[in-house]
A and B are shown apart, each in its own frame.
Chain A
Amino acid sequence: MRDRSFAPSRILIYLVVSLFAAAYLAPLIVVLLNSLRTNEEIAQGSMIGWPQHLAWSNYLMAWSGFCVAETCAGIRPYMLNSALITIPATIFSTLLGAVAGYAVSLWRFRGDNWIYGIVTLGLFLPQQMRLLPWTIVLRDIGLINTLTGLVLIHTIQGLSFTVLFCRNYYIAIPHELIRAARIDGAGFFRIFWRIILPISSPILIVTVIWQFTHIWNEFLYGVTFTTGQQQPVTAALIALSAAIADIPQHGVQSAAVIIAALPTLLIYLLGGRYFVRGLTAGAVK
């Protein structure tokens, strides 16, 4: 058993671990502090400093005040866009992934291994290989520069992850369970609804957290397929920093960064265990 006493080596371990923790927390703390400092205060010193008086107005300004191009509605419309993209795309890709994962693992049909193999290739194919075809497809079906277009993309591309997660989970369910239900006359959906879904919550939580985080944080498609008022918050943050490059407003910008990162940070704090499981499930297949 490893040593539990407070020998000098233990103190050294705690010291090193604390230094690492400080380094990992520092950027977050710096942004949090800056989101409460006035622009003048930051301009006089540096980005690293303690707020002299709390400038809560930065958050109001970031949420609904600052201007990008001609519109001055703050980050709010872009947060709404991100929510309107992320929530439906997460739900659709998870549900479809659960049904498909159940089908390829327990129901078995001709060519199931092949099609599963092709779908998981999507984990590796770079986004850049799909950029041009998506642009053309979205334009042809009239969904370019719409939130619906991004929901469609994230739903279809998300299947590579969700089918993988669900399939790996369902493959461990004893086949006898399914066989017995089939002998009793239960069909595909009845078995899914009555047997599979009730035992699926662990993997569905992992899948939802993973998909939500991925889609919320996505930038390349958002910036390529949408412009102006249709953009998700990641693209709006970049547009914001370009827009205020001449007259820096780091206090407001910090508040915007915090707001934009809040949904995924909260999900991570609430479901970190499942987030890590998603990471490792994606890594070790």
Chain B
Amino acid sequence: MTNAVSTAARPATSEMVRRLPEYLMIWVPLLLSAAHLISFSIWTIWISFTPSTLIPVSGWVGFHNYASVLSSRNWQIAFDNLLLFGIAFVLLSLITGLVLAILLDQRIRGENVLRTIFLYPLAVSFVVTGTVWSWLLNPGIGIEKLAHDLGWASFHFDWLVNRDMAIWTIVIAAVWQSSGFAMALFLAGLRSVDGDIIRAAQIDGAGPIRTYWRVILPTLWPITITVVVIQLQFAISAFDLVRALTNGGPGIATQLPALVVYDLMFQRSQLGRGAAAAVLMLLILLAVLLPYAAWRYVQRRQATHA
């Protein structure tokens, strides 16, 4: 303990110098990460209020950029598509994920292999997924052509090149890619249900369907909300998949907000409008995330009070 006395007597600055590597290792990465998140967000918001076109310039145009983005046909189609795609994709991947989880929960043989099969699309990039599905759904070389070659001449499946249906091809590819995620979370939820409750229900004479419907599935709704929020977050920022599958086409039929941002910023050199579109994306995201955060907060308070 004599040692402690001598260290205490040393000037504070040398202690600071001695601990400098430690401070650097803690603070530099954390501050870089936090600072870039905050400053970049403010930066983009600021640019969205300036008359920037090819390069960022100072100035103030109020909500002019927002007004012109919101009134553009490109954004309106993108927003409508996002609504349709978001809802259809989330619902279908939830249903598919839940069905797969319930099936895998039946103590079937080869469960590990099946789980691997249902989850592998998640490990593959959206670029690869989009490219492959663009081939399968292409009427000239894909499923429609195969059916014709096999002699089914009247078979018709041209969603990829059909303006009204093309958005559904993105739904198909996205559900294929991401339903495994819902399955993984639901399966974890099913496995954590208390066995006693299930047994009690069975003793009461409930069949398997009734047991699932009345006893097991109601415990899954917190997981369901988490899955919905994460999948919606993916849908809102979807870019790679659409870029590889339809590139927003035919025409602008499968335009989504993320593509509008990219188009404005890097193809039309409309930085101010591009930034405004990015902020609009953030606002759509917040409309999903803020209620979720509030719900989580209430849940946690209840958990600590219980």
Give a binary string over A118-134; 1 marks a CB under 8 Å from any B CB, 0 the rest. 11011011111111111
The residue on B at minimum CB distance from A152 is B32
Partner of A272, one of B19, B38, B116: B116
Nearest A residue to B188, CB-CB: A280
Question: Bound state CA distance, A30 and B131, in angstroms?
Answer: 12
* B residues near A36, Cβ cutoff 8 Å: none
Known A20-B100, A132-B275, A276-B119; judge A48-B146 contact (CB<8 A).
yes
A272–B184 CA distance with the chains assembled, in angstroms: 12
Do B38 and A118 touch across chains, with their CB atoms under 8 A apart?
yes
A11 to chain B, nearest CB (A): 11
B79 within 8 A of A: no
Give the chain A neighbours of B181 by CB distance below 8 A: 279, 283
The CA of A100 and the CA of B30, in the complex, are separated in Å by 7
Residues A99 and B44 in contact, CB atoms below 8 Å apart: no
Q: Report how many A-B pairs have Cβ atoms within 8 Å.
A: 251
The answer to whether A133 touches B44, judged by C-beta atoms less than 8 angstroms apart, is: yes
Note all chain A residues with C-beta closer than 8 A to B233: 124
Separation of A3 and B149 alpha carbons in the complex (Å): 44
Chain A residues whose CB sits within 8 angstroms of the CB of B122 once the complex forms? 268, 275, 279
A58–B22 alpha-carbon span in the complex (Å): 52
Give Cα A265–Cα B116 distance, bound, in whole angstroms.
Answer: 11
Q: CB of B6 within 8 A of chain A?
A: no
Measured between alpha carbons, how far is A284 from B243 in the docked complex, in Å? Answer: 30
Partner of A100, one of B26, B99, B188: B26
Verify B132–A31 contact, CB threshold 8 A. yes
CB under 8 Å from chain B, chain A span 54-90:
none
Of A2, A189, A220, A248, the contact of B106 (CB 8 Å cutoff): A2
Asked whether B135 lies within 8 Å of A234 as measured between CB atoms, the reply is no
User: Does B37 lie within 8 Å of A125, measured CB to CB?
Assistant: yes
Interfacial chain B residues near A165, Cβ < 8 Å: none
- Indicate if B210 sits at the interface (CB-CB under 8 A): no
Look across to chain A and name the residue whose beta carbon is closest to the beta carbon of B260.
A128
With a CB–CB cut-off of 8 A, which chain A residues contact B180?
24
In this complex, how many residues of chain B approach chain A with their Cβ under 8 Å: the count is 88
Give min CB distance, B156 to chain A, whole Å: 15
Smallest Cβ-Cβ distance to A272: which chain B residue: B116
Across the interface, do B34 and A118 meet the contact criterion of CB distance under 8 Å? yes
Closest B residue to A253 by beta carbon equals B131
Q: Residues of B contacting A272 with CB < 8 Å? A: 116, 119
Q: Does A181 contact B (CB under 8 A)?
A: no
**B123, A268: Cβ atoms under 8 Å?**
yes
Say which one of A143-151, A172-180, A200-208, A211-219 lies at the interface with B.
A211-219
Please tell me which one of the listed residues B26, B43, B100, B127 contacts residue A237 in the complex, with CB atoms under 8 A apart.
B127
Q: Which A residue's beta carbon lies closest to that of B257?
A: A128
Q: How far is the CA of A237 from the CA of B243 in the complex (A)?
A: 11
Collect the chain B residues with CB atoms within 8 Å of residue A124's CB: 233, 285, 289
Taking a contact as CB atoms under 8 Å apart, the answer to whether B240 and A219 are in contact is yes
* Complex-state Cα separation, A196 to B235, whole angstroms: 38
Stretch at the interface among B60-68, B83-91, B137-145, B159-167: B137-145
Q: A17 to B136, alpha carbons, bound, how many Å? A: 22
Asked if residues A188 and B22 are in contact (CB atoms below 8 Å), the reply is yes
Residue ID in chain A nearest B26 by CB atoms: A103
> In the bound complex, what is the Cα–Cα distance between A128 and B40 (angstroms)?
10
Rounded to whole Å, the gap between the CB of B191 and the closest CB of chain A is 12
Cα A157 to Cα B176 in complex, Å, equals 27
The answer to whether the Cβ of A247 comes within 8 Å of any Cβ in the partner chain is no
Please indicate the chain A residues that have their CB under 8 angstroms from the CB of B44 in the complex. 129-130, 132-133
Contact status B41-A261, CB under 8 Å: no
The 10 closest A-B pairs by CB, nearest first: A217-B125, A268-B123, A46-B145, A133-B40, A118-B34, A128-B278, A96-B29, A159-B33, A219-B240, A188-B22
A-B contacts besides A132-B278, A234-B127, A283-B185, 15 pairs, CB < 8 Å: A26-B136, A27-B129, A27-B136, A100-B25, A132-B44, A187-B22, A189-B21, A219-B243, A220-B262, A234-B125, A234-B240, A260-B125, A265-B123, A279-B181, A283-B230
13 intermolecular pairs with C-beta atoms under 8 Å apart: A2-B106, A21-B114, A24-B180, A34-B135, A126-B258, A128-B277, A132-B56, A133-B39, A133-B44, A156-B33, A157-B36, A234-B240, A275-B119
Partner-B contacts on A (CB < 8 A): 2-4, 10, 13-14, 16-17, 20-21, 23-28, 30-31, 34, 42, 45-49, 96-97, 99-100, 103-104, 107, 109, 115-116, 118-119, 121-122, 124-134, 136, 156-157, 159-160, 163, 187-189, 213, 216-220, 224, 234, 237-238, 241, 248, 250, 253, 257, 260-261, 264-265, 267-269, 272, 275-276, 279-280, 283-284
> Which residues of B come within 8 Å of A, CB atoms?
19, 21-22, 25-26, 29-34, 36-41, 43-44, 47, 56, 99-100, 103-104, 106-108, 114, 116-129, 131-133, 135-136, 138, 141-143, 145-146, 149, 176, 180-181, 184-185, 188, 208, 223, 226-227, 230, 233, 236-237, 239-240, 243-244, 258, 261-262, 265-266, 271, 274-275, 277-279, 281-282, 285, 289
